[in-house]
Amino acid sequence: MSKRQKNSLFFLLIFITLAFFVLDLAWGSIRIPFNEIFSILAGKGTNDIHTEIILNFRLPKAITAIIAGISLSIAGLMMQTLFRNPLADPYILGISSGASLGAAMVMMAASLFPAVFISSNWSLIIAAVIGASLVLLLVILASFKVHDVVSLLIVGIMFGTIASALVNIFQNLSNPDAVKLFIMWTFGSLSAVTWHHLLVLIPVFLIGMMIAIFLQKRLDVLLLGENYARSSGVSIQQTRFLIVLATGLLAGGITAFTGPIAFVGIAIPHVARGIFRTSSHKILIPACVLCGASLLMICDIISQIPAYSLPINTVSALFGAPVILWIILKRK
Amino acid sequence: MCILSTVDLTIGYLKKDKKKVVQSNLNLELYAGKLTGLIGPNGVGKSTLLRTLSGLQKPLGGKVLLENKELSKLSYQEKATKIALVLTDKIDILNATVYDIVSYGRYPYSNWLGNLTDKDHIYIEQAIQMVHLEEKRNELLNELSDGERQRVMIARALAQDTPVILLDEPTSFLDVSNRIEIMLLLHKLAHQTQKAILLSTHELDLALQAADSIWLMDKNGKTICGVPEDLVFNGSFARAFASKYYFFNEANGNFSMNFSLNKQVAVTGNKTRMYWTLRALARAGFEAKEEAPVKILVTEDGWILNDEKINSMEELLDKLTELEKLNLS
């Protein structure tokens, strides 16, 4: 694919992403015309109720959708490269379950932590990032022993199952209010995220993205496998640590606020590879950013068809699961 | 010129804090502009030696010297500009073209963004030309044949622009014509580019023909170096590959099978056809002995047995079996 074709594809994707952003703001049970949305965004809104809906409800939700789409697909891309496994992603390898376990501990076993920690805005995200990173570390340790594609996925699923089992134990031991709060969280929701949360989420997301962008050259060589990467001058330990950190921040961070969202991480990198026909992370990272953001906004738009408000996790599974089936069938 | 050498090197693995020594007291030298073949039976430690020489694995004792500097003291970056590898690891990258893979060889030289300069493109292009893949430049790696894939990995190592290239079993999984092509290519590259190229293989006949120098590892933990023909003459090969099932045939550099020979014939005549005749007779259990009562004369276009002209090997073997039955009854 020539440079010009790539550039025009990128412009098209940017346009699509912006279009879905506006559509996501306009969509909902209360109809707000496009021209009013633009004037509200420009700070010249006249209708107070509409201004409130856009600025404090739909805008943070749309931004969360963008961050969720980007975080999960970049985390998925890094997982697929690190494990050289087309089916790797934060959800399947149990990283989201690790984040859930962290979040569950904060929500349902608060007495285990010092009160200062629990009352802070950061407690949920810190617990989720640590939970995600820990599971990923365990999966990496297992990957030294298990080399084939499918076994590693089963290892990831097992770690995820253990994390879920621990979450179940917490549920059995906690009071009904905390359990209800947690169950609502696991459905995955973009609308629960407020500006307050975003102030915590955005810095975590940006640090994760900066590490991912810094790693793009190493990720390319890592495609050849660790021996070749090391012989090309890559420090494997350091790179692995940075990938764990970036994935923990990205996947753990977003999971802390939206609950686990399945299949975005696995599907988007394949969509990006399919569109740009490349293996270069310099192109795949921005492509995943645009495709991931668009997909999550589409999911968000579908999930709130008036009168049938669906959990976002259900909608994303409808998109993602067929992609996994397609990959498995194509490889045989 | 000697580029890479080892001083009393001991190689092996650390398993649960226990040393498992594979080979010890290795004093080897690798020369620029020469193709060196590392040969030995399976499990003798060829891969371990290559991994140790490339710095992927630490030596258990002694040291590896690269241009007179100790290898373990160099950074990953420095090592990457000195030693390039071709491994047996399977490469499966979606959407990667030949050019993409070869360009990964420029990793040690490009900036943090991985942007390639004009100079990088020249190196990549040259490497692709050296392995004769110009036509396939933009084709996907996954769509190439095994031999072509191996050439891509060699081109990647060439693009890394190092004085030393180490290859682990570059000819395994390939068919005969590809094996010969790869060997010839490596021989030519060593002489043209003045790189020191070391390859491990268990294909004796090819290595004996193409390698300028041989490192022969045997099961007893000894490694002998020299020009291939010298190692043939002094019996090193025969010792290294000693077995009751086959022997190293010094006449042709191949392994010959040890058949149980319980019958005797005398064979004389044409030189070229003699070799194949003896092979067929050995398979049928006949040993060639001058004083044997049954005599076979090998001619230009057939054989003569008991004054009777025979045109095919099949016929000859049938006749011999008949004679044997007559003798027994």
Helix, coil or strand: residue A48: helix
* Every domain of chain A and the residues it spans: 3-331
Find where tokens 């072509």 sit: B148
CB pair distance less than 8 Å for B93 and A223: yes
Distance CA B219, CA B200 (A): 16
* Shortest alpha-carbon distance between residue A213 and chain B (Å): 9
The answer to whether residue A231 neighbours chain B at the CB level (below 8 Å) is: yes
In sequence order, the 6+-apart residues with CB closer than 8 A to the CB of A116 are none
pLDDT score, position B157: 95
Helix, coil or strand: residue B169: coil
The answer to whether residue A223 neighbours chain B at the CB level (below 8 Å) is: yes
Reported as a single tens digit per residue, the pLDDT across A193-231 is 889 889 989 999 999 999 999 999 999 999 998 899 999
Task: Check: CB of residue A89 under 8 Å from CB of residue A284.
Answer: no
Does the CA dihedral B120-B122-B126-B128 come out positive or negative?
Answer: positive
Residue at A107: amino acid letter: M
| DSSP label of A326 | H
Find where tokens 């879920």 sit: A164
**Which is nearest to B157 in space by CA: B179, B131, B136?**
B131
Does the CA dihedral A271-A275-A278-A281 come out positive or negative?
Answer: negative
Q: Which CATH architecture has domain A3-331?
A: Orthogonal Bundle (1.10)
DSSP assignments along A224-285, one per residue:
T-HHHHHHTT--HHHHHHHHHHHHIIIIIHHHHHH----SHHHHHHHHHHHHH----HHHHH
CB pair distance less than 8 Å for A223 and B96: yes
Would you give the end-to-end CA distance of chain A in angstroms?
27
The answer to whether residue A234 neighbours chain B at the CB level (below 8 Å) is: yes
Query: What ipTM describes this predicted complex?
Result: 0.83
Distance CA B327, CA B321 (A): 10
Distance CA A80, CA A78 (A): 5
Q: What is the mean pLDDT of chain B?
A: 88
Task: Check: CB of residue A38 under 8 Å from CB of residue A27.
Answer: no
Task: Check: CB of residue B70 under 8 Å from CB of residue B122.
Answer: no
Contacts of A285 in chain B (CB under 8 A): none
pLDDT score, position A179: 85
DSSP assignments along B87-145, one per residue:
-S-----TT-BHHHHHHGGGGGGS-TT----HHHHHHHHHHHHHTT-GGGTTSBGGGS-
Which residue on chain B is closest to A223 by alpha carbon? Answer: B93
CB pair distance less than 8 Å for A232 and B107: yes
pLDDT score, position A147: 66
Q: Which CATH architecture has domain B2-243?
A: 3-Layer(aba) Sandwich (3.40)
Rounded alpha-carbon distances, angstroms, from residue A226 to A219, A236, A262, B47, B73: 10, 7, 28, 16, 21
Helix, coil or strand: residue B50: helix
Task: Check: CB of residue B52 under 8 Å from CB of residue B58.
Answer: yes
Reported as a single tens digit per residue, the pLDDT across A98-109 is 988 988 888 887
Contacts of A235 in chain B (CB under 8 A): 76
Of B265 and B256, more confident: B265
What is the residue-level pLDDT of chain A in tens, covering all 332 positions?
A: 778 899 999 999 999 999 999 999 988 778 888 888 888 888 887 888 888 888 888 999 999 999 999 999 999 999 999 888 888 888 888 888 898 898 888 888 777 777 767 777 778 888 888 888 888 888 888 877 776 667 777 888 888 889 889 988 888 888 888 888 888 777 767 887 889 889 989 999 999 999 999 999 999 999 998 899 999 999 888 898 899 889 989 998 898 888 888 888 989 999 999 889 899 999 999 999 999 999 999 988 888 776 667 778 888 888 788 877 887 787 65
Q: What is the pTM of this model?
A: 0.85
Distance CA A89, CA A80 (A): 7
Question: Considering CB atoms only, which of A84, A231, A280 is closest to B80?
Answer: A231
**Residue A280 main-chain phi, psi, to 5 deg:** -80, 125
